[in-house]
Amino acid sequence: MERLNGKVALITGSASGLGRVAAELFAREGAKVVVADVIDGGDAVRAIGAAGGIATYVHCDVTNEDSVTAAVAHAVDTHGSLDVIYNNAGVMLSDDDNPVTTPLETYERTMDINVKGVLLGCRAAIPVMQRQGHGSIVNVASFVAHMGAATPQVAYTASKGAVLAMTREIAVIYARQGIRANALCPGPVMTPLLAKFLSDDAKRERRLVHIPMGRFGAPEEIAQGALFLASDESSWMTGQSLVIDGGITAAYVTPEG
């Protein structure tokens, strides 16, 4: 049985990368998918259609409230509901470093997309979910929300910590209204976003030494976690952090006592 049969899922940042992998997986599992992105999502929609799925594209700038509101309205007007919002869109900027050297503009842009973008997605989706009496919110945080990053990236780490805290707050507020909110916390996944920081073997090995499983994650492994949180399989799960990190946090978080 398809795990998202009949559900409508809006995924931000899903024209490419991790978001597109999730969009294609959600569609295979029966969801009607809204590909919401600032870049054209036509290729993703066509790929989903060719595989027998249902998808539409809507332009969405997650830093702009009107744009996000319009994307949610598109989902409802086109498909009749919004059962899942997967706030996936995010950035990791190349000049994000330590608190002293990171440009304020980099910090502000990172927070604008990674935190404000999640807030606006929730802000637009929650009233729809309240009217329906149900809904699942999946927000992308990161394993660095639980621990410091091995390579300095203060803006990114701060933004993902904020997403995790916000998700817990949202979960508590709406728990009795049938709305669930959970954070997905991936470890290092080999995507173009990460690859640009790993331009040589030495840089890759410096990252890999921290991963007990000895390899980077695959996009499909993260998408499967998002699918679980989006589906009714996680129906008694809210306010939680699903960490998929190859064992990083288990190796570096010191047990109490």
The full set of domains in the chain, from first to last, is 8-187+224-243 (3.40.50.720)
**3-state DSSP assignment of residue 108:** helix
- Helices and strands per DSSP (H, E), number in the chain: 10, 7
H or E stretch covering 181: strand 179-186
Q: How many CB atoms are closer than 10 A to CB 17?
A: 18
Distance CA 213, CA 229 (A): 23
Catalytic residue among 57, 86, 107, 156: 156
Q: Is 156 an active-site residue?
A: yes
Q: Which tokens sit at 103? A: 């440009």
- Which pLDDT score, from 0 to 100, does residue 150 have? 79
- Which pLDDT score, from 0 to 100, does residue 257 have? 39
pLDDT along the chain (257 residues), means of 10: 95 97 98 98 98 98 98 98 98 95 98 98 98 98 91 95 98 98 95 62 71 93 98 98 95 61
The per-residue DSSP string of 93-121 comes to -TT---TTTS-HHHHHHHHIIIIIHHHHH
Distance CA 109, CA 45 (A): 28
Looking up tokens 């921290």 gives 210
Q: Which tokens sit at 149? A: 């990053």
Q: What is the CA radius of gyration of the chain?
A: 18
Distance CA 134, CA 108 (A): 33
- Which pLDDT score, from 0 to 100, does residue 172 have? 98
Distance CA 192, CA 216 (A): 13
